[in-house]
């Protein structure tokens, strides 16, 4: 199947879908300037980002882990959703049954107008007390932070940590429930911008396929998920996703805001 046929087939599958589940990874935010883990984002000060995204790293050196997340948060202050994020918001607007499951902690899907969003791996925009679990906005927690410092809980003064899911930690129950419902109920499972290496998210497309859903993949590279995809679009999601939209959805594409 050549690229044109693949796009036509993918558009057909999406147009016929009345219950659409979407799984996204770092690739959907790449065109907004957010480094992926496969790309530049995989290394921070020569350290493997995945090493720093662990409870062990936080126990060992919480200040270093905060420098890592503060650097990512400050990067996010300068980015905005791209056409890919906006196209997914438009796809949701024309369907009653739609689930957006994201591995991204950047919050850009909601900024783009998506609503039924489930952050499987948490969000970098919230900080949580490692003792009493009180949550606060990370920007507020970092207001009087400086490198080497560790923001503290205003209620019990224990260390705050980013409200993200670290390796070895289980996913939020609500997000897992939503993923389970989406996999069981969807007729189409759209996978965008993920290398499909991190569990349990990496097995969702396989589960959906086993339940008879059609799988569409958008990724410039082949991934383990390609083997269960009915069609794979080998291009950037910022271009491929808008091309998947039908006439009505295109009219719903939220206009690009002044800053992006
Ligand atoms: C858990 C938040 C219960 C923090 C993240 C052995 C075997 C199997 C599993 C395990 C195992 N040992 C341990 C596990 C479990 C582990 C796991 O899967 N490890 C892997 C590495 C083997 N999983 C866990 O620990 C999970 N919890 O399982 O709990 C449990 C507990 C203990 C033991 C067993 C079970 C928790 C995992 C969550 C970790 N937190 N993030 C933070 O962000 O700092 S993971 C993080 O990395 C992201 O959230 C994401 O999930 C992952 C990165 O993957 P992608 O998003 O796909 O990004 P990547 O850069 O890799 O790829 C980008 C893709 O985009 C590429 O394919 C590229 O081609 C494409 N692309 C590029 N540009 C574009 C594009 N696509 C479209 N358009 C473009 N323009
Ligand atoms: Zn506390």
Q: What six digits make up the tokens of 80? A: 């905005």
CB atoms within 10 A of CB 69: 20
DSSP string, 42-66: GEETTEEHHHHSSHHHHHH-HHHHH
pLDDT at 53: 95
Locate tokens 């957010």: which residue? 34
Instruction: For residues 9-17, give the mean pLDDT.
Output: 97
**Is residue 85 flagged as an active site residue?**
no
**H-helix segments, 112-157:** 138-141
In the predicted structure, residue 258 carries a pLDDT above the cut 90:
no
CA-to-CA distance for 155 and 132, rounded, in angstroms?
8
Backbone φ and ψ of 189, nearest 5°: -120, 115
Determine what percent of the chain is predicted with pLDDT higher than 90: 87
pLDDT at 254: 59
Q: Judge whether 10 and 219 are in contact, CB under 8 Å.
A: no
More reliable by pLDDT, 215 or 254 = 215
For a mutational test of ligand 1's pocket, the pick from 33, 35, 36, i.e. the residue with the most ligand atoms closer than 8 A to its C-beta, is: 36
pLDDT at 226: 98
Pairing of strands 19-24, 188-192: parallel
In the predicted structure, residue 104 carries a pLDDT above the cut 60:
yes
Q: Does residue 226 have its Cβ closer than 6 Å to ligand 1?
A: no
More reliable by pLDDT, 94 or 175 = 175
Lowest mean pLDDT among 94-98, 119-123, 253-257: 253-257
Give the model's confidence band at 256: pLDDT under 50 very low, under 70 low, under 90 confident, else very high.
Answer: low
* Sheet architecture: strand order including 122-129: 135-137, 122-129, 160-164
Instruction: For residues 225-252, give the mean pLDDT.
Output: 94
Q: Separation of 103 CA from ligand 1 center, angstroms?
A: 7
CA-to-CA distance for 188 and 211, rounded, in angstroms?
10
CA-to-CA distance for 95 and 222, rounded, in angstroms?
29
* DSSP code at position 121: T
In the predicted structure, residue 248 carries a pLDDT above the cut 90:
no
pTM of the model as a whole: 0.96
State how far Cα 95 lies from the chain centre.
20
* DSSP code at position 159: B
Q: Separation of 200 CA from ligand 2 center, angstroms?
A: 29
Which ligand is in closest contact with the Cα of 170? 1
Supply the residue whose CA is at minimum distance from atom 62 of ligand 1. 195
In the predicted structure, residue 47 carries a pLDDT above the cut 90:
no
Instruction: For residues 152-172, give the mean pLDDT.
Output: 97
Tens digits of residue pLDDT in 205-230? 999 999 999 999 999 999 999 999 99
Secondary element (H or E) of residue 16: helix 3-16
Supply the residue whose CA is at minimum distance from atom 15 of ligand 1. 199
pLDDT at 249: 86
Half-sphere exposure (Cβ direction) of 50: Cα atoms closer than 13 Å: 9
* DSSP code at position 93: H
Average model confidence (pLDDT) for the chain?
A: 94
In the predicted structure, residue 43 carries a pLDDT above the cut 80:
no
CA-to-CA dists, residue 187 to 20, 58, 97, 144, 183, angstroms: 6, 41, 10, 48, 9
Backbone φ and ψ of 76, nearest 5°: -70, -20
Q: Separation of 52 CA from ligand 2 center, angstroms?
A: 22
Tens digits of residue pLDDT in 50-96? 899 999 999 999 999 999 999 999 999 999 999 999 999 999 999 99
């Amino acid at each position: 199947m050549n690229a044109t046929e693949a796009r036509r087939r993918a558009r057909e599958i999406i147009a016929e879908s009345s219950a659409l589940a979407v799984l996204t990874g770092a690739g959907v935010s790449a065109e907004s300037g957010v480094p992926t883990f496969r790309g530049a984002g995989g290394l921070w000060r020569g350290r493997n980002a995945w090493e720093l995204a662990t409870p062990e790293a936080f126990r060992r050196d919480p200040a270093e882990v905060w420098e890592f997340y503060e650097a990512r948060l400050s990067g996010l202050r300068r980015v905005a959703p791209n056409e890919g994020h906006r196209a997914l918001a438009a796809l949701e607007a024309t369907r009653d049954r739609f689930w957006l499951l994201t591995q991204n902690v950047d919050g850009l899907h909601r900024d783009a107008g998506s609503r039924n969003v489930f952050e499987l791996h948490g969000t970098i925009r919230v900080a949580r007390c490692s003792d009493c679990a009180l949550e606060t906005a990370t920007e507020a927690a970092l207001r009087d932070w400086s490198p080497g410092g560790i923001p503290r809980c205003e209620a019990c003064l224990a260390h705050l940590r980013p409200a993200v899911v670290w390796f070895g930690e289980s996913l939020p129950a609500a997000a897992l429930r939503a993923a389970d419902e989406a996999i069981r109920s969807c007729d189409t499972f759209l996978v965008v911008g993920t290398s499909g290496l991190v569990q349990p998210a990496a097995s969702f497309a396989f589960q959906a396929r086993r339940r008879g859903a059609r799988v569409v993949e958008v990724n410039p590279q082949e991934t383990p998920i390609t083997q269960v995809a009915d069609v794979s679009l080998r291009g950037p999601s910022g271009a491929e996703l808008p091309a998947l939209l039908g006439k009505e959805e295109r009219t719903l594409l939220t206009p690009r805001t002044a800053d992006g």
